[in-house]
Amino acid sequence: MSTQASPPMRFAFVGDIYLGPGEEPWISADIPDLHRDLGVDVVVGNFESVVDGTEVGCPHPGKIHLSTPRSSLVKLKDMGVDVVSVANNHIGDYGPKAARHTIEVLGEVFGGENVFGWSGCPVAELAPGISIAAACFSETNPVTLDDESRICAPKDLQQLAAHRSASDEKLVVYAHWGEEYLSLTAPNLRVRARALRSGGAAHVVGTHSHVVGAAERIGGFSATYGLGNFLFHVVRPGNTRMLRRTKQGTVAVFSWDGTAVSLDEFWRSEFDENLNLRVRKIARSTPGSKFAQMHLRLPDSLAGWSYEASLASRWFDLGLSRLIEGVERPSFKKVRTVLTQIGGRRSR
């Protein structure tokens, strides 16, 4: 990778993308021109699905399966999404063969060098001197794949950040982490963000929660903990109040001047049940609710307890409603996570 200075540019990160199992309603949806509307040169998104999964693979037992037909990808490209990460917990929904097929098809549409976050392409170069790396963290329950289609993990980030820091190249981390449907930031995510900063990352941008989270700036470094959904076909009913929150997302816009990368602004994205999408600039300097932002400033002990209480409440609120409606089988994943959080905090 070259370290030659490059012309100034702007680039944006959008959140989770799943276009649905069929072309409709996506193929007729009203969408923006992201490059024009955001004023950016490159748009990066998290492609949280398998392509043609039902045709090329076998559903992995015990999980939700997301599959998108390849015919839906062209419109995503046309709206301005240029680079996609596959470092998430749904790339393995239909097994290793389907994961390899997904990476190949995405490469045909977006270019092989623009499909990143896996063993064959852990990093995508945005311009000489600046790259992005993606990783999927363990709490998202990713499926283990073979070496040919292995998605990147946190240990890969450490090596990538250290290498680029030593060569004075800038690296922005796209992290798939945290808990679903929870806008508060887990204390351990803040620890991870600071560790990535110390390891050489210029900025950190998070996905996976499906709702908008908080963000913070530390000097020239920023951590955006959850972008929410950018475009995500609703795969099941359940708690309708919660589902309304999943139709909103955040777009984080950065600028690169050839030597330094900075977080410029946030935009709000919102879509309806037909995947019609709108984006608008946020006047505030941070996304998320005031409560989510205030939670970041709490003392560690109080932040830990409030997060654990919110996690338990969210699990009962959303999980119990799904069980009652018969759309989800019983699961103790969230209870286990609460206990892990409590145990981890008490051990410090």
pLDDT of residue 239: 46
The count of domains in the chain is 1
User: Residues 139-191: pLDDT tens digits?
Assistant: 998 988 888 889 999 999 888 887 787 778 899 999 999 998 889 999 999 99
- CATH number of the domain that residue 189 is part of: 3.60.21
Determine the longest span between alpha carbons in the chain, in angstroms: 59
189 found inside a domain: yes
User: Residues 43-52: pLDDT tens digits?
Assistant: 999 999 999 9
User: Are the CB atoms for 116 and 123 separated by under 8 Å?
Assistant: yes
Instruction: Report the run of H or E that residue 125 belongs to, with start and end.
Output: strand 123-127
36 found inside a domain: yes
315 found inside a domain: no
pLDDT of residue 171: 95
pLDDT of residue 335: 56
321 found inside a domain: no
Q: Residue 327's pLDDT band (boundaries 50, 70, 90)?
A: very low
Full domain range(s) for residue 57: 9-288
297 found inside a domain: no
pTM: 0.88
- Whether the bond into 32 is cis, omega within 30 of 0: no
User: Residues 2-37: pLDDT tens digits?
Assistant: 445 578 999 999 999 999 999 888 999 999 999 999
N-to-C CA span, the chain:
41
User: Residues 56-90: pLDDT tens digits?
Assistant: 989 988 788 999 999 999 999 999 999 999 999 99
pLDDT of residue 282: 92
User: Are the CB atoms for 338 and 315 separated by under 8 Å?
Assistant: yes
User: Among residues of the chain, what percentage have pLDDT more than 90?
Assistant: 62
Q: Residue 333's pLDDT band (boundaries 50, 70, 90)?
A: low
225 found inside a domain: yes
| CA–CA separation, 48 and 28 (whole Å) | 21
Q: Residue 204 pLDDT > 90, yes or no? A: yes
301 found inside a domain: no
pLDDT of residue 5: 59
281 found inside a domain: yes
